[in-house]
């Protein structure tokens, strides 16, 4: 099994992935049925997605979306080759895209909405907690993404406060990724050259910085 960040060379798989999304939505009878091929290409080109292979066979995919100036991040479009769904791929991809999200956006809350019990279980393993929809992003761009779901009218009728999906959030911003980001900020600050003419603050003897 190969799990890695997708790149521009992987755009050759976009049409296949779009077909998988549509077929999956039909089988489940709920969910977002279509993905814009150009949107998936952009996710690959910007390093905001995880792609999986078993041997040379395309096995799965998931991507990152950001909202409200990177305050909220969602892992979207988790899809696995139907012929390989018993290989633990979904969980492996979910864990990898989680790590990518926390590494790239350590100050962002991760969230998602789903009707899938399997996805809810994986989210719980990662530290997500169930929340009400008002605790999620208020970005119109996110909620417009639900428009192709057949239950979208329910969401609208409830003014985006509830639907058939369960909302979940990961908000431990002081985890290993958050701490690493803070440590890097400290290092960057200490390494930053002093401004011309500005006095360099003196450090007290035996000053200890924990990084």
Half-sphere exposure of 60 (CA within 13 A, CB side): 29
User: What pTM, to 2 d.p., does this model score?
Assistant: 0.81
Three-state DSSP class for residue 77:
strand
122-141 mean pLDDT: 95
Mean pLDDT of all residues belonging to the chain? 87
- How much is the pLDDT for 31? 59
Question: What is the model's pLDDT at position 194?
Answer: 59
Note the residue count of the chain. 211
Residue 94, pLDDT score: 94
Q: How confident is the model at residue 195 (pLDDT cuts 50, 70, 90)?
A: low
CA distance 114 to 32: 10
């Amino acid at each position: 099994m190969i799990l890695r960040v997708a790149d521009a060379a992987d755009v050759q798989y976009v049409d296949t992935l779009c077909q998988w999304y549509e077929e999956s939505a039909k089988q489940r009878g709920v969910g977002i049925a279509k993905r814009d091929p150009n949107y998936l290409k952009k996710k690959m080109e910007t390093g905001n997605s995880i792609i999986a292979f078993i041997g040379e066979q395309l096995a799965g995919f998931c991507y990152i979306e950001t909202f409200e100036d990177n305050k909220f991040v969602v892992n979207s479009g988790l899809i696995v080759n139907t012929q390989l769904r018993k290989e633990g791929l979904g969980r492996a991809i979910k864990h990898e895209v989680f790590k990518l999200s926390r590494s790239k956006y350590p100050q962002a809350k991760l969230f998602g909405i789903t009707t899938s019990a399997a996805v809810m279980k994986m989210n719980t393993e990662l530290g997500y907690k169930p929340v009400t929809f008002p605790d999620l992003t208020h970005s119109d761009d996110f909620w417009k993404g639900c428009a192709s779901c057949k239950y979208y009218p329910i969401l609208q009728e409830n003014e985006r406060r509830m639907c058939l999906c369960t909302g979940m959030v990961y908000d431990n911003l002081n985890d290993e990724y958050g701490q690493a980001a803070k440590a890097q900020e400290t290092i960057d600050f200490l390494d930053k050259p002093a401004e011309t003419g500005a006095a360099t603050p003196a450090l007290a003897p035996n000053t200890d910085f924990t990084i």
